[in-house]
Structure 1
Amino acid sequence: MQLPGTTLLVIDDDDHVRQRISAHMERGGYDVLQARDASEGLAIFNAQRPGLVLCDLHLGDNSGFALVREITERDQDMPVIVISADGVMADVVEALRLGASDYLIKPLDDLVVLEHAVARSLERSRLSLENQRIRERLERANRELENHLKELRDDQAAGHQVQLNMLPASPWASGEYRFEHRLIPSLYLSGDFVDYFRVSDSQLAFYLADVSGHGSSSAFVTVLLKFMTTRLMYEQRKAESSGRIEFKPSDVLSHINRSLIACNLGKHVTMLGGVIDEQQQTLTYSIGGHLPLPVIFADGEASYLQGRGRPVGLFEDAEYQDEVIDLPAQFSLALCSDGVLDCLEGTTLKEKEARLPQLFAESGGALRGLMAGLGIDPNKTMPDDISVLVLGRNAE
Structure 2
Amino acid sequence: MGEIVKILTIEDEAAVRRSLVAHLEDMEYDYIEASSGSEGIALFKESNPDLVLCDLRLPGMDGLDVLSTLTELSPDTPIIIVSGANQVADAIQALKRGAWDYITKPIVDFQTLDTAMERALNRARLIKENHAYQKHLEALNIELSAALGQLREDEEAARALQSSLLPPKEAQFGEYKFRRQLFPSLLLSGDFVDYFPIGDHEVGFYIADISGHGAASAFVTVMLKTLFEKHLDAYQRDQEDVIRQPSDMLDHLNRAIYVSPIEKYLTIFYGVLDLREHRLRFCSGGQFPYPMLFDGQEIKTLTSHDKPVGLFEDSIFMQHEIDFTSVQQMLMISDGILELFPRDSARRRTEWLLQMVADGSPEIDDLVERFNIEELDEIPDDIAFLSIVRGSDDE
Classify the TM-score, shorter chain: 0.5 to 0.7
Q: Partners in 2 of 1:336 and 1:262 — Cα distance?
A: 28
Task: Describe the SS at the equivalent of 1:206.
Answer: strand
Q: Partners in 1 of 2:193 and 2:354 — Cα distance?
A: 20
Which TM-score applies when normalising by structure 2? Answer: 0.58
Q: Structure 2: 5+ residue runs without aligned partners?
A: 1-149
Task: Describe the SS at the equivalent of 2:388.
Answer: strand
Where does structure 1 differ by over 6 angstroms across 4 or more consecutive aligned residues? Answer: 151-154
Task: Describe the SS at the equivalent of 1:271.
Answer: strand
Q: Partners in 1 of 2:208 and 2:380 — Cα distance?
A: 18
Q: Partners in 1 of 2:280 and 2:362 — Cα distance?
A: 17
Which residue of structure 2 aligns with residue 189 of structure 1? 188
Which residue of structure 2 aligns with residue 270 of structure 1? 267
2:218 corresponds to 1:235: no
**CA 1:248–1:153 in structure 2 vs 1: closer, same or farther (change >3 Å)?**
closer
Match among 317, 334, 346 for residue 349 of structure 1: 346
Which residue of structure 1 aligns with residue 210 of structure 2? 211
How far is 1:322 from its partner? 1.1
Which residue of structure 1 aligns with residue 316 of structure 2? 319
CA contact (8 A) 1:284 1:322 kept: yes
How far is 1:379 from its partner? 6.4
Q: How does 1:1-396 map to 2 (within 5 A)?
A: 155-239=154-238, 247-344=244-341, 347-377=344-374, 380-394=377-391
CA contact (8 A) 2:293 2:327 kept: no
CA contact (8 A) 1:292 1:338 kept: yes
Q: Structure 1: 5+ residue runs without aligned partners?
A: 1-150
Q: Partners in 2 of 1:170 and 1:361 — Cα distance?
A: 23
Which residue of structure 2 aligns with residue 36 of structure 1? none
How far is 1:258 from its partner? 0.4
How far is 1:312 from its partner? 0.3
How far is 1:316 from its partner? 1.0
How far is 1:359 from its partner? 2.6
Task: Describe the SS at the equivalent of 1:239.
Answer: coil
**CA 1:265–1:311 in structure 2 vs 1: closer, same or farther (change >3 Å)?**
same
Q: Answer with 1 or 2: which has the greater Rg.
A: 1
Which TM-score applies when normalising by structure 1? Answer: 0.58
Task: Describe the SS at the equivalent of 1:318.
Answer: coil
Letter in 2 for 1:287: S
Task: Describe the SS at the equivalent of 2:228.
Answer: helix
Q: Partners in 2 of 1:255 and 1:378 — Cα distance?
A: 39
Letter in 2 for 1:158: A
Q: Partners in 1 of 2:311 and 2:151 — Cα distance?
A: 30
CA contact (8 A) 1:302 1:358 kept: no
Task: Describe the SS at the equivalent of 2:373.
Answer: coil
Task: Describe the SS at the equivalent of 2:310.
Answer: coil
CA contact (8 A) 2:231 2:242 kept: no
**CA 1:165–1:379 in structure 2 vs 1: closer, same or farther (change >3 Å)?**
farther
Q: Partners in 1 of 2:152 and 2:302 — Cα distance?
A: 40
Which residue of structure 2 aligns with residue 92 of structure 1? none
Q: Partners in 2 of 1:388 and 1:261 — Cα distance?
A: 26
Q: Partners in 2 of 1:380 and 1:194 — Cα distance?
A: 24
Q: Partners in 1 of 2:257 and 2:179 — Cα distance?
A: 28
**CA 1:371–1:293 in structure 2 vs 1: closer, same or farther (change >3 Å)?**
same
Task: Describe the SS at the equivalent of 2:300.
Answer: strand
CA contact (8 A) 1:189 1:215 kept: yes
Q: Partners in 2 of 1:284 and 1:360 — Cα distance?
A: 24
**CA 1:240–1:365 in structure 2 vs 1: closer, same or farther (change >3 Å)?**
farther
CA contact (8 A) 2:243 2:249 kept: no
Q: Partners in 1 of 2:195 and 2:341 — Cα distance?
A: 26
How far is 1:367 from its partner? 1.1
How far is 1:246 from its partner? 6.1
Q: Which string of whole-angstrom CA distances, capped at 9 and with x for unpartnered residues, describes residues 368-396 of structure 1?
A: 12222323126642011111111120298
Q: Which string of whole-angstrom CA distances, capped at 9 and with x for unpartnered residues, describes residues 110-145 of structure 1?
A: xxxxxxxxxxxxxxxxxxxxxxxxxxxxxxxxxxxx
**CA 1:354–1:346 in structure 2 vs 1: closer, same or farther (change >3 Å)?**
farther
CA contact (8 A) 1:298 1:328 kept: no
Letter in 2 for 1:286: C
Letter in 1 for 2:321: V
Q: Percent identity?
A: 35
Task: Describe the SS at the equivalent of 1:263.
Answer: coil
CA contact (8 A) 2:151 2:215 kept: no
CA contact (8 A) 1:181 1:387 kept: yes
CA contact (8 A) 1:300 1:364 kept: no
